[in-house]
A and B are shown apart, each in its own frame.
Chain A
Amino acid sequence: MFSELVIAGMVAVTPISVENNLKKYEAQPIGLYADSIFKKTYIEELYSPLVSNSYNLVGSELSITSDISNKNINKYFIIFRNMVNELTIDFDEKHDYFSFLSNLRDNEEEYRAFLYESLNSGDLNVCNAISIFLSQKKYHFITADEENFIVSILRFGNLQMQEFALNAILNWDKVSDITGLKTIRLGNKYLQEDLEDFIQSKL
């Protein structure tokens, strides 16, 4: 009898407590860094032409959902994520994912949605791989979406993401919104110095 009660109690309680416990282990998408109306609006404005977002405020956290799965973007994202997760840092091995991104880049609409998906995933390897791709000289014709991607990481990404994104932007010949860059505060003083030197050199 006693054990039955305990089991019954566990059945009633466990699903909720496990769910709550597991919640804290969920990856934090980069969108969740957006904890103010300004940041929400910023991301929304960047990608609103293509992706219809719905924002759900849960407590003080902001989550972003999107309906882009019908454009195969989620599939592209998963393929790309698997590709970069298998890589070491060796340059030769980057060839495949550079080709993948080059091909995807030809379709402006899908590419934009893919960048959004990658950004919103907050996946370190994915975001850093795209930043490495965008730092290569042969891609110096940078589109507005690519610039938005990099600037968003500089604003909301963690330090490791910021370093790769910064390296990309430092290798570009020009940035459309230099004034906007001035408002960025990176999480490391050395990186911040590099950014400020870059801004100065472009003024």
Chain B
Amino acid sequence: MAYFVRKIGISRWPDGQGFKFTTKEDLPADTIINEFKTTNNTLSIWHAENLDKAYELGVSFVSRMDCEQKFIRLIAIPFEELDTNFDLRHSPQDGDTAIKSFNQYHYDICKLTYGKLGKLGEIIARETSIQSNPCIIKIKVKEAINSIKLLLDKGEADSDLLGKYVKKELGISV
């Protein structure tokens, strides 16, 4: 099963326990503003053939990190959910991770409007509210950095594009 993947700030979304999701009207403004920083009414998203590939994409997200963080979390949204509701464009040239081969999975959600952001928020909120949902993927940053090191050794990652924190961890001058 294919997915679209995006990094999220997990505490901003309903967890199905303390913060329960009912409708998009209940999504906090901070969630919308901080999670959906659009440019030119587009938002980046990444295609993954399955959840294992989604996890690998997480490594590429870590590659750009500037700040020290223990974990990041991703959401994997079923392909059909976005394909049927949104205007998607394949845009590998706009993928900016340090792992070159992963940029081919980059897409843009285009022509976003207030209503469409609400719809996207609704989809994510529904997923984060599900208990033990495998589509919420936790990436251990330290492990991801070890993988990046291997990719650098193989020449599959570009050290110039690494985030400052990752460079520091790998002993590369900032």
On whether the beta carbons of A190 and B11 are closer than 8 Å, the reply is: yes
For the complex, what is the distance from the CA of A170 to the CA of B140, rounded to whole Å? 11
Q: Is the interface of A mostly helix, strand, loop or mixed?
A: helix
**B164 engages A160 (CB within 8 Å):** no
- In the complex, the answer to whether B70 meets A190 with C-beta atoms within 8 Å is no
- A170-B70, A190-B73 known; A160-B30 Cβ under 8 A: yes
Give A190 to B16 CA distance when docked, in angstroms: 11
Flag whether B18 is at the interface (Cβ < 8 A).
yes
Number of interchain pairs (Cβ within 8 Å): 49
Residues in A174-197 with C-beta less than 8 Å from chain B: 187-191, 194
The interface stretch among A45-53, A54-62, A106-114, A132-140 is A132-140
Cα separation A132 to B70 with both chains bound (whole Å):
12
Given known pairs A91-B164, A160-B11, A163-B11, the reply for A187 and B18 (CB within 8 Å) is yes
Q: Across the interface, name the chain B residue whose C-beta is closest to A136.
A: B68
Shortest beta-carbon distance from A190 to chain B in Å: 5
Q: With A190-B10, A190-B73 known to touch, is A171 a contact of B68 (CB < 8 Å)? A: yes
**At the interface, yes or no: B15 with Cβ under 8 Å from chain A?**
yes
A residues in contact with B19, CB < 8 Å:
159, 187-188
- With A91-B164, A132-B67, A136-B68 already in contact, the answer to whether A191 and B30 are too (CB < 8 A) is no
Contacting pair A191 B10 (CB below 8 A)? yes
With CB as the reference atom, state the residue of chain A lying closest to B136.
A190
Q: A188 — which chain B residues lie within 8 A by C-beta?
A: 10-11, 15, 18-19
19 contacts between A and B (CB under 8 A): A91-B66, A91-B67, A91-B165, A135-B67, A135-B68, A137-B68, A159-B11, A163-B9, A170-B70, A187-B18, A188-B10, A188-B19, A190-B10, A190-B11, A190-B73, A190-B136, A191-B11, A194-B70, A194-B71
Name 7 extra pairs, CB < 8 A, besides A190-B73, A191-B10: A135-B68, A160-B12, A162-B11, A163-B9, A190-B10, A190-B15, A191-B11
B interface residue numbers (CB < 8 A to A): 9-12, 15-19, 30, 66-71, 73, 136, 138, 164-165
A residues lining the B interface (CB < 8 Å): 90-91, 132, 135-137, 159-160, 162-163, 167, 170-171, 187-191, 194
